[in-house]
Amino acid sequence: MTAPEPILRSAARVLLIDGRDRLLLFRGRDPGRPAVPAYWFTVGGGLDPGESPVHGALREMYEETGLRLSADDLVGPVAEDVTEFLFEGRTYRQSQVFFVARVDTWEVDTSAFAEVEVRTIDSHRWWSAAELDSADEAYYPQNLPALLRQALVPARKVG
């Protein structure tokens, strides 16, 4: 028997960085695989049908953190990738774009979490690139320290 084809999904993710150059990450786990350790990941998620990546990023940021920003507050996309992952017994192939948003400080409000987020996410914290470099826990994407460092470099004007 062959494995079923992965479920295709588009997503928008946000590198939300505070005034101390730290990145907000959530820690969660796959409830379908309780023996697999928890892992850290960025703000963001799947796009609704017909939703643009920018609007999806803004919606996800509000739902997951309580922070309302405008499209003008996002930089990017600064990176794109495709990832495959198993979640609740189903394989997904997710094409995702990453944006950057900056805040001086923010008290994360998770009261608008979707049901699946309530069941799977157990904490959040702000991480520096150095802390990610030395982390014992898994985080995704695996090049997150490099993405964070890239996001911290001011854009240069051409010409």
Assigned domain for 159 exists: no
Report the amino acid identity of residue 46.
G
Tokens 């996410």: give the residue: 121
40, two tokens: 């850290």
Helix, strand or coil, per DSSP, at residue 47: coil
Assigned domain for 1 exists: no
Q: How far is CA 77 from the centre of its chain?
A: 13
Closest among 43, 155, 39, 153 to 98, alpha carbons compared: 43
Assigned domain for 158 exists: no
The structure's pTM equals 0.92
Assigned domain for 120 exists: yes
Helix intervals (H) in 42-154: 53-65, 115-120, 129-133, 144-152
Assigned domain for 141 exists: yes
Q: CA 144 to CA 138: how far, in whole Å?
A: 11
Query: Tens place of pLDDT for every residue, the chain, 159 residues?
Result: 677 899 999 999 999 999 999 999 999 999 889 899 999 999 999 999 999 999 999 999 999 999 999 999 999 999 999 999 999 989 999 999 999 999 999 999 999 999 999 999 999 999 999 999 999 999 999 999 999 999 998 754 454
Question: What range defines the domain where residue 56 resides?
Answer: 7-152
